[in-house]
Amino acid sequence: MVRLTLAGPELAGFTVDEPAASVRLLVPSPGTDELVMPTWNGNEFLLPDGRRPALRTFTPRRFDPEALQLDLDIVLHGGGVASSWAAAAQPGDAAAVSGPGRGYTVDPDAAAYVLVGDETAIPAIGQLLDALPPGMPVEVHIEVAHPDARLPLPEHEGAAVAWHELPASALPGDAMVAAVRDADIPDGARVWAAGEAAAVHRIRRHLFEERGVARSRTSVRGYWKHGRAGDGDGESDSDSD
């Protein structure tokens, strides 16, 4: 994970009102250093030469409206245009952001919260811990591919945090799915989960079909797709209250 701080007068007026919101980050296309702005053709954003731009979705981890600085925490997963760009980025390199997209509305009256995610969800889970009422019981399950991926999370007096290391032979999300199967989900609890799209799909099926958790009490979202570039945004596995 690397923290990128984006800054510039263009961020004036940017606000993030809710946790687990999103922004779209535009970085130079692979093989170039130049940031070319795409245009909307009514269906999708395209570059002037007709190619798809390198646009990916991230969590606006922290925004400082005085300094006009926006932090993004980006997983370095060893491939991918945004991850590779973030790994090599130098001060002064150009990128663009748009957003923010809708965040998550906390239910202060929930009996408890269960927060589940992989490394891509750590920024959002941190924000959710900041936003949940102090007395709320919160069970947190985070899957990491390597023990070094564990990061300090904001203190929350009601939170119990479990880190689950993904065995080398396992599919992304396997440890997250197993954690949800074992989790105590009391009546009246709310579940928030995000991570690899197929894994969160399995989580939805478990919650809805095996546990009978009401969809209205869950927000389960695909953040990326194993073996496919782009993010999972809006394509599947998005239920919210």
Chain residues binding ligand FAD by CB under 6 A are 22, 56-59, 73-75, 77, 79-83, 119-120, 123, 223-233
Q: How far is the CB of 233 from ligand FAD (least distance, A)?
A: 4
Whole-angstrom CA distances from 177 to 82, 173, 181, 183, 216 are 26, 6, 6, 10, 20
List, in sequence order, the alpha helices (H) in the chain: 81-88, 122-131, 174-182, 197-205
Q: Which residues contact 44 (CB under 8 A, 6 or more apart)?
A: 52
Report d(CA 224, CA 236) in Å as an integer.
10
Nearest 10 degrees: Cα torsion 78, 146, 62, 185? 130
Q: How far is the CB of 100 from ligand FAD (least distance, A)?
A: 10
Token readout for 93 is: 């390199």
Report d(CA 170, CA 69) in Å as an integer.
38
For ligand FAD, give the closer residue by CB, 101 or 133: 101
Q: How far is the CB of 174 from ligand FAD (least distance, A)?
A: 13
Q: How far is the CB of 23 from ligand FAD (least distance, A)?
A: 8
Q: Is the peptide bond before 167 cis (omega within 30 degrees of 0)?
A: no
Q: Find the residue with minimal CB distance to ligand FAD.
A: 80
For ligand FAD, give the closer residue by CB, 24 or 156: 24
For ligand FAD, give the closer residue by CB, 75 or 112: 75
Q: Which amino acid is at 236?
A: S
For ligand FAD, give the closer residue by CB, 154 or 188: 154
For every residue of 102-139, DSSP letters joined together read P-----TT-SEEEEEE-GGGHHHHHHHHHHS-TT--EE
Cross-strand bridge partners of residue 117 = 142, 194
For ligand FAD, give the closer residue by CB, 157 or 241: 241
For ligand FAD, give the closer residue by CB, 2 or 37: 2
Q: How far is the CB of 136 from ligand FAD (least distance, A)?
A: 23
Q: How far is the CB of 175 from ligand FAD (least distance, A)?
A: 13
